[in-house]
A and B are shown apart, each in its own frame.
Chain A
Amino acid sequence: MTARHVDARAVVRVDARLCRGTGLCQAMSPALFRLTRAGYAIPVDGELYDDDTVRLARSVADCCPMGAVEVLPGDDADATGPESAGT
């Protein structure tokens, strides 16, 4: 796992409990999302650095039929994310 960059504008996550592997996110942006072998979505990187990418990620989150994609401001994600402990 790479260290979280302090300048990340936002962080994109896929909630594994909600994802049904519809492939919509990957089809909308293969740069941001990929599907695992089992067919479920995960972010390629997760950290978003520019406004266009953040906008794109928000569009994907709005379109996801399962509501499984979330985009959090960089600061919030650091404070509340399950991976934030110790980083």
Chain B
Amino acid sequence: MTLSAAPPVPLFGSDYFQDPYPVFAWLRDHSPVHAFPFPVGGVRTWLVTRYDDVRAVLADPRFSSEGGTWGNPEFKAAGLVSGAGSVLEKAVTVVDPPAHTRLRRLAMSTFTPRRIAQWRQTVERVVSSVLDACAARGEFDVMDDYAGPVSSTVMGEILGLRIERHRELVDALAQAFPSDAARMDRVPEGFARICGYAEELVALKRRSPADDLTSALIQARQDGEQLTEEELVAMVAAMILAGSDTVRAFVGNAVLALLDHPDQARLLRERPELEADALEELLRYEGALTTALFRVTTEELEFRGTVLPAGAPVIAALLSANRDPRQFPDPDRLDLTRGGPRHVGFGHGLHNCLGAALARLEGQLAVPALLRRFPALTLAVPRGELRYIENWAMRRLVRLPVRAAGEGAA
């Protein structure tokens, strides 16, 4: 591996965002622990792309999620510490044990079988009503008219957000995760608005507890411990931030994958018993997250022959790991019957997706339901016109316009 080695198109450039897979294939073969300047602040960063290496990084406590604690001065100065200066700095996503264990146990204690059964009913009801609205339109955008309303309404209902707040939440999420790179300057305002909703929601549920997740988090107790006010707000905000746009992104990617592979879409319609395996393969094929959140090294260490200094930012490319031919034969083919080794679509290790049960529920219900409702579903624009947002961590289509009645329909 030489220092001059460079991938076929620049990392985090426009071509990369539209199709990162050729870059990942090159990196896995030629520079599996790849040093590059991160576009924000030019901070020297390492990108890990092989399946085994991605899992190794995410399982190793020397790669910390606490950028604010372990990141080098350049990393901090560039503003790359997630949630810095806000309540989110203490969120479960960016703290290490022992704080992480405490937060995660308290959160998980609220995900009871009874509550998950309730969530299933909520998701089914929301999916069915949003499908009715899509049917009435005939032609619709999977991102804005289906996946978006399903994911944000489900999150709002589960947390107990007042219905008037739902539309505002969609707005705030669009601000926090913009489709247009030119609107990056409004991202902090989007995050602040969501923290504001979380704070308001926690205050409301303290006054009048109800049968929802926010009330359950307020009441959660484990070995005499409970969440502090700040931790509660961070937890609710993190759930909104991590659990809405990701589901929207994934549903879009899954629907497109099935439109691209009509034989697999037919298989899914004809064999509902495949739904669970199909979901795992769709998560492998193209999950919502291109990469895990930043890790930083807690000490100087050697990783696969590369010396990483202490405080070095490291990015684990989840999409790349899931397309690594060393792990998945013929990885670029969608095969709903694949089975076999597990994917890292929900990350790996300590910080693997806390809400995976809800995400799976939403994916497993929302994706097949759309295909069953509209068996002739086709793209309403040429395939080549589809664009992805220019975000380094999230893989999401800007729009996915489809026609319910299929080709030739008015």
Using a CB–CB cutoff of 8 Å, the interface residues on chain A facing chain B are 20-24, 26-28, 38-40, 59, 62-66
Contacts and interface: CB of A to CB of B under 8 A. Distances in A.
Of B61, B222, B349, B356, the most chain A CB neighbours within 10 A belong to: B349
B193 to A, nearest CB: 28
B350 A38 contact: no
Contacts, number: 56
Contact of A23 (B222, B349, B356): B349
Q: Is the interface of A mostly helix, strand, loop or mixed?
A: loop
B100 to A, nearest CB: 9
Interface of B: 55, 58-59, 61, 97, 101, 104-105, 108-109, 222, 340-342, 346-350, 352-354, 356-357
A64 B354 CA distance: 9
Contacts of B104: 62-63
Nearest to A56: B101
Contact of A62 (B222, B349, B354): B222
A26 B349 contact: yes
A41 to B, nearest CB: 11
A27 B349 contact: yes
A24 B350 contact: yes
12 contacts: A22-B356, A23-B59, A23-B349, A24-B350, A38-B340, A38-B341, A62-B109, A63-B104, A63-B105, A65-B108, A65-B352, A65-B356
B59 A26 contact: yes
Contacts of A26: 59, 349
A20 B357 CA distance: 11
Contacts of B352: 22-24, 65
Given A39-B341, A62-B104, A65-B353, 10 more contacts: A22-B348, A22-B349, A22-B352, A23-B348, A24-B350, A39-B342, A63-B104, A65-B356, A66-B356, A66-B357
